[in-house]
Structure 1
């Protein structure tokens, strides 16, 4: 029975000009008085082909003697994907802590696309986060039976925050993100859905609350 699979979470496109207009909300990692700007340090080329998605490697390298990581291909899902480890600074209630935590959250989203596992994102996301729920549904749909997701890797180009608490007790983080091409695949070469790589970065806002000794995501939205 042919099924229509959901695509990995796609981000709305918003260019550099829109990010610069957000200066009242955020600052760059290097200078708290400047806006987050797209840089080339983590940005893929806009001319990337679908094969680029296959070559993306998780941020955490596997330990020595561990089975080798293999990205998803046209033949099957990724194998031996290492779970990203949260950096210690991401546990701090600080500007740098929030910025690092935001990047780690997206690392876990990428891990979910490669493995079908959503529990790591659920563990640091609050109920009622609509974008989180969309991510869970996308992954669950993408890994029905023997299906898998290839690509869809989200790359954080830059992030910044003024680290000012909102009336709801949340802190806001602005991120510039670009997403690789993605494919929902099934056995025998079946493609249920495909999406091209983003040609431009997208601006996202994340709101998170610091609870006891860790951050929890309350909201993730396109801007």
Structure 2
């Protein structure tokens, strides 16, 4: 999963899109009663009730129907990376409230959140979010940082590499180093290292079989931090 390569960085571009919203106002009219006298009386009442210079109902309806609609901007649409270009409008994972708790359940939820930040890094080239919740002595983390940095140099990008968390478990026992351990079963999609002009530098097969990694974490202040991450098997 976390291996280096000599390749190439721009983060995913953000493209704004807009959608038009059209509205048509339909006005209806009323018919008078039968008979010449009644029709004439209704017409006179209608004429006296209308303010001077106002448009007739049919003219108002026509003007409303032909008015140019004002476009309304649409929300940014997520687009996964492909051979044509990097991912666009990738949403930054939000830490769930459970992952903020200093508890067994909180640690397990944090572990899943940690891998979502790994996926975010693969898609965008942005490793700052995962750096903020990882320790400086995390060797696996540093290997991942190098992979992403190499993959996003000189307008290159990474396709794929998504990690699925199959299961997670912690006995929530403090080790002699003052750390809590959580085991995580993961799989990973294949990665493609790509560049402009339909360039394919390299393909990484990812992790086909379920692999076990262990996150050793500490609770600092009001949040968890992945101090070390190691592959068990």
> Could you say which residue in structure 2 is the equivalent of 1:143?
152
1:76 aligns with 2:115: no
Of residues 166, 173, 180 in structure 1, which corresponds to 2:175? Answer: 166
CA distance in 2, matches of 1:142, 1:128: 22
1:5 aligns with 2:12: no
Of residues 104, 118, 128 in structure 2, which corresponds to 1:109? Answer: 118
**Contact 2:189–2:208 (CA under 8 A) maintained in structure 1:** no
**Contact 1:208–1:218 (CA under 8 A) maintained in structure 2:** yes
CA distance in 2, matches of 1:208, 1:5: 32
> Could you say which residue in structure 2 is the equivalent of 1:44?
none
CA distance in 1, matches of 2:78, 2:90: 6
1:196 aligns with 2:205: yes
Q: CA deviation at 1:189?
A: 1.2
Of residues 93, 97, 100 in structure 2, which corresponds to 1:88? Answer: 97
1:118 aligns with 2:127: yes
Deviations along 1:136-188, one digit per CA (max 9) or x if unpaired, are 11111100011000000111000001000011110000010000011000111
Higher-RCO chain (CA-CA 8 Å, sequence separation at least 6): 1
Q: CA deviation at 1:5?
A: 2.4
CA distance in 1, matches of 2:207, 2:134: 25
Instruction: Give the alignment of 1:54-73 within 5 angstroms.
Output: 65-73=74-82
Q: 5+ residue gaps in structure 2?
A: 9-72
Q: 5+ residue gaps in structure 1?
A: 7-63
Q: CA deviation at 1:65?
A: 4.4
Q: How many residues align?
A: 164
Q: Which has the larger radius of gyration?
A: 2
CA distance in 2, matches of 1:163, 1:79: 38
**Contact 1:4–1:192 (CA under 8 A) maintained in structure 2:** no
Deviations along 1:65-95, one digit per CA (max 9) or x if unpaired, are 4300000011000000000000011000111
C-alpha change, 1:155 and 1:146, in structure 2 (3 Å) is same
